[in-house]
Amino acid sequence: MTPQRDYFTCALADARVIELRHQDGGRWTSGTFDDPLALRQAISTLAERGNLYTSLNAPGDVHVTNAMTGRALRGEDIVCVTRLPFDHDPVRPTGMPSTDAELAAAVAARNRLVSTLCGLGFPQPAVAISGNGAHAVYRVRMKATDTVSDMLGVVYRGLKDDFSTPDVSFDPTVRNPARIWRCYGAPNRKGTPTPDRPHRMAQVVVPQRWEGVDPRQIEALANRYARRGQAKRRHDVEHRADAVVGSGDYSTLDAIAWFTAHGLYKRPLGGGKHAVTCPWYNEHSTPDMPHGTDTVIFEPNGAWAGFHCSHQHCDGRSLRDVLRLFGDADRFCARAFQRGARMTTYDLIRSIGGSAGGVAGSGRADRQLARACGDTRSVEPKGGKASWVQTRRSCARCDALERLRRVCQGVGHVGVPATAGSCRLRAHCTRRAVSESH
């Protein structure tokens, strides 16, 4: 069998159903396949034009068409993570294929990653070129839960720090379970070709024995990166400069009307979550799709609204960045920011951009503070040894306390403990006192 056929045979065995997605200009079509012959025929036919992508992970009970007449898979469709994809993309002009030298640099970066992971006991992955960059694809089997998603987030961010260079970037956003992936055995026609930047075929080589990664190896890697990241996160907190200047009370911001006014609103997704077009979509390496949910906003729930974009170019961007970009959020607030009102611990957390969630007034201050960085999970250590989640929870709590202490000390408030070990924080400030943090 050809390497591509080996790859799709394994993919169907692991995921049971594969989505094939085709882009032809501005038109996108999708189909779900569980028949390998029908899948290969569709790839062969559609590869003559446009770009082809496939899903990576296993969906639940979805309608299978074995033809290009279905809908695109969404995040909620995925029930099992069956692939760990790693993508090294050469830094190059936007909208251009890579040169041979740029592609070679991406392959070298990919090989360094594979060598490092092999040294940690990982099995050999499938290795590939996307046409412009280099891939390593590992087999795995883990339930698609929030805990697994957070654990993979720690791993991908750590790998990005280790394996991104000025010439080659490691893409941490491909951990999204519903992410589509370059279809191997089909041309990559992304970008405008030139003689030294040609379109190339996406190709993959599958190991003779393509073994799966033990989830415990992934957890061990997450532990390693979480422990190493504590000092870095504390440094980032100390040097963060993200104050937003405005007169509106952003806990009353009508984010839906705001994005609608800018022509970027798509549709509601339920549970206070809404699909939107990213304000920085022109920087993305893949086009925005009308039905896509890569970028979302969250309705305010007694606090600020939320913003998240899954694309690499927007990694780390938050609502604060959108506030600064648009510059007109005050017009969409129900009221102005009241600088003389009393402030609770929960309010103070929100004023510095934390995410205290639904714990306001319902528990101890340290629980609120631990959630201020959005990193806490209810996972207990096993066998007395702290897990990666415990490490992140402790670090988030320390960071949040430090942020609160610095804000309050900066305006002469002394109600915040100077140490991060205190279990209770009785911080009651005035909004006027912390107005600089708003």
Of residues 122 and 293, the one with the higher pLDDT is 122
**Residues 379-394: tens digit of each pLDDT:** 334 444 445 555 555 5
Average pLDDT score over residue span 241-265: 84
Q: Are 50 and 104 in contact (CB under 8 A)?
A: no
Residues 6+ apart with CB under 8 A from 264: 276, 277, 278, 279
Predicted confidence (pLDDT) at residue 284 exceeds the cutoff of 80: no
Q: How many CB atoms lie within 10 A of CB 213?
A: 19
Q: Where are the beta strands (DSSP E) in 64-202?
A: 78-90, 126-129, 134-143, 168-170, 181-182, 187-188, 200-201
pLDDT digits over 337-381, tens only? Answer: 876 554 444 455 544 444 444 333 334 444 444 444 443 333 334
pLDDT of 93 higher than 50: yes
Mean pLDDT score, 42-68: 96
Q: Is the pLDDT of residue 294 over 50?
A: yes
Which residues are CB-neighbours of 113 under 8 A, at least 6 positions away? 86, 88, 136, 159, 163, 170
* Per-residue pLDDT band at 310 (split at 50, 70, 90): confident
The per-residue pLDDT for 379 is 36
At 94 the pLDDT is: 86
Antiparallel, parallel or unpaired: β 18-24 and 51-54: antiparallel
Lowest mean pLDDT among 111-125, 258-272, 391-405: 391-405
* Residue 408 reports pLDDT greater than 60: no
pLDDT, tens digit, 9 for 90 and up, residues 136-191: 999 999 999 999 999 999 999 999 989 999 999 999 988 889 989 999 999 999 98
Q: Name the average pLDDT for the chain.
A: 79
| pTM > 0.75: yes or no | no
Q: What is the C-alpha separation between 285 and 266, in angstroms, rounded?
A: 20
Greater pLDDT, 259 or 367:
259
The whole-number pLDDT of residue 269 equals 92
More confident residue, 72 or 374: 72
pLDDT > 60? residue 89: yes
Q: What is the pLDDT of residue 381?
A: 40
How many Å apart are CA 73 and CA 79, to the nearest integer? 11
Cβ-contact 350, 303 below 8 angstroms: yes
Res. 282 pLDDT band, cuts 50 70 90? confident
Average pLDDT score over residue span 308-324: 84
Please tell me the predicted confidence (pLDDT) of residue 142. Answer: 96
DSSP 198-242: --EE-EEE--SS-PBPPHHHHHHHHHHHHHHHHHHHHHHHHT---
Query: What percent of the chain clears pLDDT 90, i.e. is strictly above it?
Result: 53
pLDDT at residue 360, rounded to an integer: 37
Q: In what order do the strands lie in the sheet with 181-182?
A: 27-33, 18-24, 51-54, 181-182
Percent of the chain with pLDDT over 70: 71
pLDDT band of residue 417 (cuts 50, 70, 90) is very low
- Backbone phi, then psi, for 408, in 5-degree steps? -70, -40
How far apart CA 118 and CA 337 sit, in angstroms, is: 54
Which domains does the chain possess? 3-186+211-221 (3.90.920.10), 240-337 (no CATH), 338-438 (no CATH)
- Does 349 or 40 have the greater pLDDT score? 40
pLDDT at residue 5, rounded to an integer: 63
Q: 391 or 5, which is more confident?
A: 5
Interatomic CA distance for residues 370 and 394, integer angstroms: 7
pLDDT of residue 8: 94
Decide: 342 and 253 in contact? Cβ < 8 Å.
no
